[in-house]
Amino acid sequence: MLELDEWLSKRIDQTKAAGLYRKLRTMNTAPLPEMLIDGMRHLVFSSNNYLGLANDRQLVYAAETILNEFGVGSSGSRLTTGHTEWHRRLEEKIAQFKQTEAALLFSSGFLANVGVLSSLPEKGDVILSDKLNHASIIDGCRLSKASTVVYNHIDMDHLEEKLKKTSHYMRRFIVTDGVFSMDGTIAPLDQIISLAKRYHAYVIVDDAHATGVLGEKGRGTSEHFGVHPDVVIGTLSKAVGTEGGFVAGSRVLIDFLLNHSRTFIFQTAMPPSICSASYAAFEIIEESDTKRKLLDSNVKKIKTSLVEMGFEVKGDDTPIIPVMIGEPTEAVIFAEKLQENGIFAPAIRPPTVPVGESRIRLTVTSDHSSNEIDYLLECFYCIGKELKLI
């Protein structure tokens, strides 16, 4: 038997040989469109701070006030000593925002997905899961005692076929991302819900990238389509600008999760200061659509300009803009050239995306100025021409 480190070194060598080795970069500034990364100034087009709330002064003030009052850590799980009035207030706020009866906080969106999928569907049930669902949904399905059946990405015919073939299961749950993190596609929740009604299935939607972004008031995919899924999962770490996850739904659902979801029961509660900052974020999102409108016009400007230049751009109108390059080596070269020009936007390669579909995954925020976007587009044009992609 090899020494542990010797064996792990070999494993890392394999990861490197497969071109999948990852390493950390240090951010030396707050999440803004322009940041110091490893000491160098970059224009960042890869952050989830879609509405620029992560360093909004109102959120910082809200966190600071409660930080001074309640201290740094919550020091207990929600069911012991970790539940404060700020957890309660934020849950009420999320329920009101998502237009559901109740909501429950988790320490992250990842843990919310895992917590729901490992507790709600039981042995004898089946989960129908979109092929491009987030890793936390996949892990939740793996932990569940229910079976999992994967359907092709937003392919409603395939989902229906799978529904027809799974009628012998006790209960059926369809689970989908609202906005898909690598493709920027929006799940057709209206069609998913009508299929679910026809075939007697429950619908779970992970609205991580849609909360604060989609719908007239930013309530997410449900508002975008005017529908009501059974379970809405979300994160506070993207448009809301803070940290943590949540589930919104009926009072009974929340009571069930509070009693059965292991990632809720056995996790230390979120810090109250972060709950207070998140509460302030939802108030900002509810009060004004200025940020959402700015975000929307930034998305449209980037997408239409790139398409006019001749780039293939995937997805619907969301802040996730995948620019298709094709081969992984070319995508890496493209990302490196962007970085030489001071732009930070990652190359996404297999196995994260299918072979031949390597891409630059741009994300845009409401805080990007038109000058910053013009510069990004200028760089894309020059690099695209240089690499003969357009």
Contact residues: ligand PMP, CB under 6 A: 108-110, 113, 134, 136, 177, 181, 206, 208-209, 235, 237, 245
Question: Looking at beta carbons only, is 362 or 373 nearer to ligand PMP?
Answer: 362
Q: Residue 233 and residue 381: Cα distance in Å, rounded?
A: 38
Alpha-carbon distance of 151 to 147, in angstroms, equals 13
Which position among 87, 93, 134, 209 bears the catalytic label? 209
Closest by alpha carbon to 95, among 193, 214, 222? 222
Nearest distance from C-beta of residue 232 to ligand PMP, angstroms: 12
Which residue, 114 or 284, is less far from ligand PMP as judged by CB?
114
Active site residue 209: yes
Quote the CA–CA distance of 172 and 286 in Å, as a whole number.
34
User: What CA–CA distance (Å, rounded) separates 277 from 257?
Assistant: 24
Nearer to ligand PMP, 107 or 305 (CB): 107
- Closer Cβ to ligand PMP, 236 or 302, answer by number: 236
In order, the DSSP letters of 46-70 are --S-TTS-TT-HHHHHHHHHHHHHH
Closest residue to ligand PMP, based on beta-carbon distance: 109
**Smaller CB separation from ligand PMP, 179 or 195:** 179
Nearer to ligand PMP, 125 or 177 (CB): 177
Of residues 213 and 383, the one with the C-beta less far from ligand PMP: 213
Q: Which of 93, 224, 238, 368 is catalytic?
A: 238
- CB 110 to ligand PMP: min, Å: 3
CB of 340 to ligand PMP, least distance (A): 27
User: Strand 245-249's sheet: what is its strand order?
Assistant: 102-106, 245-249, 231-235, 202-206, 172-177, 126-130, 147-151
| Two structure tokens written together for 257 | 């999760």
SS (H, E, C) 335-382: HHHHHHCCEECCEECCCCCCCCCEEEEEECCCCCCHHHHHHHHHHHHH
Residue 238 is among the residues annotated as catalytic for this protein: yes
Is beta strand 102-106 parallel, antiparallel or unpaired with respect to 245-249?
Answer: antiparallel
Q: How far is the CB of 208 from ligand PMP (least distance, A)?
A: 3
Token pair, residue 44, equals 């960042």
Say how far residue 128 (Cα) sits from the centre of its chain: 20
Report d(CA 211, CA 205) in Å as an integer: 11
Least distance in Å: CB of 136 to ligand PMP? 5
Of 165, 179, 158, 178, residue with least CA distance to 126: 165
Smallest distance from the beta carbon of 8 to ligand PMP, in angstroms?
26
- Which of 47, 119, 136, 181 is labelled catalytic? 181
CA distance 49 to 364: 8
For 273, residues 6+ apart whose C-beta sits below 8 A from its C-beta are 62, 63, 64, 66, 67, 70, 72, 86
3-state SS, residue 186: strand
Nearer to ligand PMP, 279 or 311 (CB): 279
Which amino acid belongs to residue 84?
T
- In the complex, least distance from residue 385 CB atom to ligand PMP, rounded to whole angstroms: 32
Q: Least distance (Å) from ligand PMP to the CB of residue 267?
A: 12
Pairing of strands 312-313, 40-44: unpaired
Q: Give catalytic residue positions.
A: 181, 209, 238
